[in-house]
Chain A
Amino acid sequence: MNWNRFRQPDLILKLIGDLTEYKKQVKFMEVCGSHTMAIGHWGLRKLLPENIILISGPGCPVCVTPATIIDSLIKLKSVTITTFGDLMRVPGSHQNLEQARAQGCDIRIVFSPMDALKISQDRETIFIGLGFETTIPGIAFSIVNAAKNNNQNFSVLSLGKLIPPALDALLDDKDLKVDGLILPGHVSTIIGMMPYEFIPYKFGIGGVITGFEPLDIVLGVKTLIENLDHPRIMNEYSRVVRPEGNQIALDLISEVFEITHAQWRGIGEIPDSGLKIKSKYADFDAFRKYDIKTSDLEENPLCLCGNVLKGKILPPECPLFAKTCTPDYPIGPCMVSSEGSCAAYYKYER
């Protein structure tokens, strides 16, 4: 299979051409940060007809992670900290993990929880378990594996977050007006279509699961437009997403984690949107093992991230955007991760 077919310009441009027949104004939210990045990378926001507006949602696990965690982690001098690269530049109150590493803290970027397990063979290791449903099964695996091998060196700081409850909380906001959702393809690979079914019933709008190639995204937009009158959850990513999701992965998640409320930086607390490690696996829970605080940092009052994450404003509408707030000196969470809405706008949409 040549996956480049999904990037073939003539197909994409033809599809965009078809969309110009639709004249009414519509506003869709791409929930997922990787969609935000892909849309920016391919310049889709401006290629689409002007009446079709794409706004960015909360889908970046790094941006919504409270910053006080960084401070607590830096203080744990005797432990090796392993993390996805995404978290390295999230500002703590004084320094980020990259700066702490430069000053001698043993902080290592890993690409998979399995790499963290390897590192824990000969040293006490915390893995920062950050991510949405896509990433969480692999993290669950690392915990089960550590338990099986009685690997007391290893623990996970569970920061996993769940997308459907976040969408529920977001759409509940009366000020937010969107006509449809572009749903995250890889989260959906794990959870399937069912967990979104409340959206059309409760909020009267549809959603489409799409992949991350430009053709996927444009196709998703087209599908949403064609089904505006029949809002429902649709799957344009059937090559990867099964309606029922991935049951083995889901089972492993519930084996290890239980659902809890969680803090979303910029949004606040959302009920049932986080995961904590079950007491059965308490030995591998870094929150139980170490003194790590999660209380939310006070955000700069001028930062409008909450409104950006909720899709109420576009990043350039924030007075700090690209002035005092830049990827080098991020003020709010949306500028922190490269796929945060503000960072993606900074890079691609100015």
Chain B
Amino acid sequence: MSHGSGAALTRQLIKEVFAGEFRISTLDDAVCIDGSLTVTTDAYVVNPIFFPGGDIGKLSITGTVNDLCMNGSRPAYILASFILEEGFAIDQLHSIVSSMQSTAEEAGVQIIAGDTKVVEKGRCDGLYITTAGIGFLPGGIHLDAGKIRSGDKIIVNGTLGDHAIAIINARQQLGLTPAPESDCAPLHEVIRILLQNTNLKFARDATRGGVATILNEICDDTGLGIIIDESSLPVKYSTRVLCDMLGLDPLYLANEGKLIAFIGEANDDLLSLLKTYKYSYEAAVIGQCTNEVKGVFLRTILGRLRPLLMLASDPLPRIC
């Protein structure tokens, strides 16, 4: 089943099975329960468990922090549960836990509770982590896709596709040196900069399915039109070359430290401000919302508009 791969099929799964039964919105990873308390939960099953630029522990913290801060909340507490496969090396566990702690410190969150279960060999793939996150939403902040209007700008905070390339290299043992690193990073500061310097309408982290898929989801839910400008997309040179080699499109690749922000007016120096911060120094305006089209379109470097579809399934490296 390719439902777990995060793209259109996952969305369908959520819509058909969970949303109806639980009466939840499909768009939000986190939810604000009484106007000030934001909660989220997420499961981490990344393979490989250690990858250049991070590991499952770091990912579980950044992922949770990012889910919490996308609505403007200040991430505060994390709870984590571990499912360990019998025989999982204890020193590896040590190193994962310590990377959780240091990432938590960086993000200013506290890991306050957890649980551990050990299952028989073969019943889980090494280690799974499930987290719950708690954050506080400051008064007066209300980010909502419904506020996005034609003319609003779309910003990403840096280069696209780096996490996916790091994972593919590690998983496929492509043997690239230096190994491409995941962009895995907490985004609470980026959100803070955006909140202070723009009329931020809405933000989403561009994880599974990549920027193209997330934009499509937002268009689907809001009826917006979006035009992305190909020449403005920040992509590392190495990522671009490797994408050409592997037949992949950075717009559809997962990121773990990138967000898409929809902003109205902004201070003139917003980009230069973002560029002074380590997790947004390659930030760029990649497009804008418009009434001219329905759905998501890419203006290619040759100036033509072509539709940017929702990803059908997880992209696989190919030779054709």
Contact = CB atoms under 8 A, between A and B. Distances in A.
Whether A and B touch (Cβ < 8 Å) is answered with yes
Interface in B265-320: 300-307, 309, 312-313, 316-320
Interface in B166-196: 172-174
Interface residues of B, number: 25
Nearest to A41: B300
B172 A111 contact: yes
Nearest to A131: B319
Contacts of B172: 109-111, 115
A326 B313 CA distance: 12
Given A111-B172, A328-B9, A47 B304 contact: yes
B302 A13 contact: yes
B20 interface: no
A111 B319 contact: yes
B14 to A, nearest CB: 16
Contacts of A347: 309
Closest 7 CB pairs of A and B: A85-B316, A43-B304, A327-B312, A86-B318, A85-B318, A85-B317, A84-B319
A42 interface: yes
* Candidate in B1, B172, B318 with the most chain A CB atoms within 10 angstroms: B318
A344 B312 CA distance: 13
Contacts, number: 80
Interface in A17-46: 33-34, 40-44, 46
B246 interface: yes
Contacts of B35: none
Contact of B300 (A43, A89, A98, A131): A43
Interface in A293-350: 326-328, 337-339, 346-350
Contact of A339 (B173, B246, B300, B320): B320
A60 interface: yes
A135 interface: yes
* Candidate in A7, A9, A60, A85 with the most chain B CB atoms within 10 angstroms: A85
B8 interface: yes
Given A327-B312, A328-B9, A347-B309, A109 B319 contact: no
Contacts of B317: 85, 109, 111
B25 interface: no
B316 A109 contact: yes
Contact of B313 (A62, A84, A89, A349): A89
Contacts of A326: 312
B247 interface: yes
B150 interface: no
Interface in A42-83: 42-44, 46-47, 60-62
A277 B9 CA distance: 40
Contacts of A40: 306
Interface in B1-30: 1-2, 8-9
Contact of A34 (B174, B301, B312, B320): B320
A110 B173 CA distance: 9
A131 B300 CA distance: 30
A99 B1 CA distance: 5
A248 interface: no
A348 B306 contact: yes
Contacts of B8: 328
Contacts of B246: 111
A36 B166 CA distance: 28
12 contacts: A12-B302, A13-B302, A34-B320, A43-B305, A85-B316, A86-B319, A98-B2, A109-B172, A110-B172, A115-B172, A337-B318, A348-B306
A89 B302 CA distance: 32
B304 A214 contact: no
Contacts of B312: 326-328
A60 B319 contact: no
Contact of A135 (B301, B309, B313, B319): B319
B173 A115 contact: yes
Contacts of B313: 89, 327-328
A1 interface: no
Contacts of A98: 2
A7 B301 contact: yes
Given A43-B306, A98-B2, A328-B9, A337 B301 contact: no
A82 to B, nearest CB: 11
A136 to B, nearest CB: 12
Contacts of B300: 41-43
B303 A9 contact: yes
Given A42-B301, A131-B319, 14 more contacts: A9-B301, A9-B302, A46-B304, A61-B320, A86-B319, A89-B313, A98-B2, A102-B1, A109-B316, A115-B172, A328-B312, A339-B318, A348-B307, A350-B307
A47 B302 contact: yes
Contacts of A61: 320
A123 B35 CA distance: 57
Interface in A95-109: 98-99, 102, 109
A167 B305 CA distance: 33
A88 interface: yes
Contact of A214 (B174, B302, B319): B302
A350 B173 CA distance: 37
Contacts of A111: 172, 174, 246, 317, 319
Nearest to B171: A109
Contacts of B318: 84-86, 337-339
Contacts of A44: 302
Interface string A2-20: 0000010100110000000
A135 B305 CA distance: 34
